[in-house]
Structure 1
Amino acid sequence: MPILMLIIVGTAAGFLATRVLKMNTSVMMTIAIGIAGALIGGLILRAVSVLAGALGSFVGAVLGALLLIWIWKKLKENS
């Protein structure tokens, strides 16, 4: 099923890309461009997602540490 979806999405993407860039290609070339573009785009989005996930984890860790220090200081002030 994922291969069939890749072909369908790739075909639509290839069609749109060739129309936007005003390329005159055959149906097979349009499909090939779309599938290759879907693979490349998927890899790029996956890499960005991993980097954003790592950055998000770091920001979350810093915010958590800041909150912990703030709570610690408030508890020390009250005792």
Structure 2
Amino acid sequence: MIISFFFSLLLGALAGYVAGRLMGSRTSALRNVVLGILGSIVGTFLFNLIGLWVTGTIGSFIAAVVGACVCIWLERKISH
């Protein structure tokens, strides 16, 4: 259980990092982890909304990256 928790954090951090690079955002590692985890929730919701089901590590990673990109985009729209 602890290993899966740390794996989820690592996957979230990596997804947040990739999303930050794709969106041209330079943030801290902690923010990358938060964006990746939040992005995972948002991405999974969005994928399910359009009828795509997220399964496996690769699917979860893709959903987290897409969701984190959406979160970065929303944050930029709100703060500017």
Map of 1:8 onto structure 2: 10
Count of matched residue positions in the alignment of Structure 1 and Structure 2: 50
Q: Give the structure with higher Rg (CA).
A: 1
Give the direction of change, closer, same or farther, for the CA distance of 1:3–1:13 in structure 2 (3 Å limit): same
Q: Which of these residues, 3, 12, 22, is aligned with residue 24 of structure 2?
A: 22
Higher RCO (CA < 8 A, seq sep 6+): 2
User: How many angstroms does 1:31 deviate by?
Assistant: 0.8
Structure 2: distance between partners of 1:31 and 1:7: 7
User: How many angstroms does 1:3 deviate by?
Assistant: 3.7
User: How many angstroms does 1:38 deviate by?
Assistant: 0.7
Give SS of 1:15's match.
helix
Structure 1: distance between partners of 2:28 and 2:10: 16
> Aligned residues: percent identity?
24
Give SS of 1:24's match.
coil
